[in-house]
């Protein structure tokens, strides 16, 4: 819970800072290199991270300072604030009030700041005479606005209310939305406008030098081998022992359950390591922009999309939700 809340709060604060970044880029273009220099960006990022984890520490302390004497089964995909507080055997009004005030500070204050920034941005865009200039200015902000709407909308629905209003079904659906869709949109948000030079890619990846880069390429390639092949070898050895253990299980049902435990992890491993190996385990002379962009989108979008499945596919509530979505009973009904 501490790390989830820490990263979530940090994300909220960073989205507010990004609103200011868009304001500086459109309304103060000549002063932008000074207003958003690397030093300023670093200071803002560190402030957001430290503030995010301090607020998370406060919220986690308020939750786990309560007595828990009964069931430890949380009616949720993970240990979030509302479902855990509902398990407490004590009066939680003060704790919930403090957490609610913290939620207002984390969600409403940055959102107001974003609205003010976009008010100035809209005013500046309307003063642009050409339609092409307006389109470019709007496209600079469009992806940020989409992330803001999804993230703040869903997070406000979940956290800006007392736990007495908690409804497990709706909250699980909304939580899945902002823990999957927002990371899915991040690769769209961090695209070409953030790179200082013209790069034929979706983000600043390796390879734009104008000099002989053979030694640099070789060192990066060796690093790629260590980062990709060593863990992959470890995974293959682990699954060798796993397969050996599964083959010794006498019942078919036992083998099926053991295999289903590993299936989602194997899917992510194949997608992530396969795509990353294709991109990084070669010298830049073999670089192919169109293929690399396609493969990069795959492992920067599909892998984060599959990560929640790795953590929750064995959860019976998740299985039941999938069963309802597909409209049949099939495999998941058997698993239940």
Distance of CA 258 to the CA centre of its chain: 29
Q: Is the dihedral of CA 234, 236, 237, 243 positive or negative?
A: positive
The answer to the question of residue 204 being in a domain is no
Burial class of residue 248 (count of CB atoms within 10 Å of its CB; 0-12, 13-18, 19+): exposed
What crossing angle do the helices spanning 289-297 and 252-280 adopt, rounded to 10°? Answer: 140
Is the whole model's pTM more than 0.85, yes or no?
A: no
The answer to the question of residue 43 being in a domain is yes
Confidence band, pLDDT 50/70/90 cuts, at residue 182: low
Average pLDDT over residues 198-204: 56
Asked if residue 133 and residue 228 are part of one domain, the reply reads no
Rounded to an integer, what distance in angstroms lies between the CA atom of residue 92 and that of residue 163?
Answer: 9
Q: What mean pLDDT is reported for the chain?
A: 76
Residue pair 83/168 in contact (Cβ under 8 Å)? The answer is: yes
What are the residues whose beta carbons fall under 8 Å from the beta carbon of 39, sequence distance 6 or more? none
- Which pair of structure tokens corresponds to residue 78? 């993970």
The answer to the question of residue 230 being in a domain is yes
The residue length of the chain stands at 336
The answer to the question of residue 223 being in a domain is yes
Confidence band, pLDDT 50/70/90 cuts, at residue 51: very high
Asked if residue 230 and residue 185 are part of one domain, the reply reads no
In this model, does residue 92 exceed pLDDT 50?
yes
In this model, does residue 49 exceed pLDDT 90?
yes
Query: Which 3 state secondary structure label does DSSP give 162?
Result: coil
What long-range pairs does 224-228 form, CB within 8 A, spacing at least 24?
A: 224/280, 224/281, 225/281, 228/273, 228/276, 228/277, 228/280, 228/281
Rounded to an integer, what distance in angstroms lies between the CA atom of residue 142 and that of residue 212?
Answer: 38
What are the residues whose beta carbons fall under 8 Å from the beta carbon of 315, sequence distance 6 or more? 77
What is the span of the domain harbouring residue 318? 214-335
The lowest-confidence range among 113-122, 158-167, 189-198, 269-278 is: 189-198
- Which pair of structure tokens corresponds to residue 288? 């192919």
Residue pair 302/271 in contact (Cβ under 8 Å)? The answer is: yes
Quick one: residue 76, left, alpha or beta (phi over 0 = left, psi -120 to 50 = alpha)? beta
Asked if residue 264 and residue 164 are part of one domain, the reply reads no
Asked if residue 148 and residue 104 are part of one domain, the reply reads yes
Asked if residue 133 and residue 12 are part of one domain, the reply reads yes
Q: How is 257-322 classified by DSSP, letter by letter?
A: HHHHHHHHHHHHHHHHHHHHHHHHSS-GGG--HHHHHHHHHIIIIIHHHHHHHHHHTT-HHHHHHH
Provide the number of structural domains found in the chain.
2
Which stretch, 8-17, 68-77, 310-319, has highest mean pLDDT? 8-17
Asked if residue 279 and residue 181 are part of one domain, the reply reads no
Beta-carbon count within 10 A of 149 CB: 10
The answer to the question of residue 302 being in a domain is yes
At which residue do the structure tokens 């493969």 appear?
A: 295
Residue pair 62/98 in contact (Cβ under 8 Å)? The answer is: yes
In this model, does residue 193 exceed pLDDT 60?
no
The lowest-confidence range among 54-63, 95-104, 165-174, 221-230 is: 165-174
């Amino acid at each position: 819970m501490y790390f989830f809340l820490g990263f979530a709060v940090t994300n909220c604060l960073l989205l507010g800072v990004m609103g200011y970044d868009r304001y500086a880029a459109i309304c103060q273009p000549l002063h932008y290199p000074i207003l958003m220099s690397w030093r300023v960006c670093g200071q803002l990022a560190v402030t957001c991270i430290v503030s995010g984890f301090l607020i998370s520490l406060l919220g986690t302390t308020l939750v786990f300072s309560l007595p828990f004497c009964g069931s430890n089964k949380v009616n949720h995909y993970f240990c979030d604030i509302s479902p855990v507080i509902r398990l407490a055997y004590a009066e939680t009004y003060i704790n919930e009030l403090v957490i609610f005030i913290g939620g207002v500070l984390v969600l409403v204050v940055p959102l107001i700041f974003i609205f003010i920034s976009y008010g100035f941005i809209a005013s500046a865009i309307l003063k642009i005479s050409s339609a092409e200039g307006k389109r470019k200015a709007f496209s600079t902000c469009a992806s940020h606005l989409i992330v803001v709407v999804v993230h703040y909308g869903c997070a406000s629905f979940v956290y800006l209310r007392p736990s007495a209003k908690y409804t497990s079904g709706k909250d699980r659906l909304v939580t899945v939305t902002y823990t999957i869709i927002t990371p899915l949109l991040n690769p769209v948000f961090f695209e070409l406008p953030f790179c200082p030079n013209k790069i034929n890619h979706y983000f600043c990846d390796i390879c734009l030098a104008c000099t002989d880069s053979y030694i640099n390429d070789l060192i990066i390639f060796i690093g790629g081998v260590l980062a990709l092949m060593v863990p992959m070898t470890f995974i293959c050895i682990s699954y060798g022992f796993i397969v050996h253990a599964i083959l010794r299980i006498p019942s078919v049902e036992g083998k099926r359950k053991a295999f289903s435990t590993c299936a989602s992890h194997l899917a992510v491993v194949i997608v992530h390591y396969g795509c990353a190996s294709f991109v990084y385990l070669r010298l830049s002379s073999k670089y192919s922009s169109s293929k690399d962009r396609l493969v990069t989108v795959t492992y920067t979008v599909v892998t984060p999309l599959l990560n929640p499945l790795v953590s929750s596919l064995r959860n019976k509530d998740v299985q039941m939700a999938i069963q309802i979505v597909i409209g049949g009973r099939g495999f998941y009904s058997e698993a239940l």
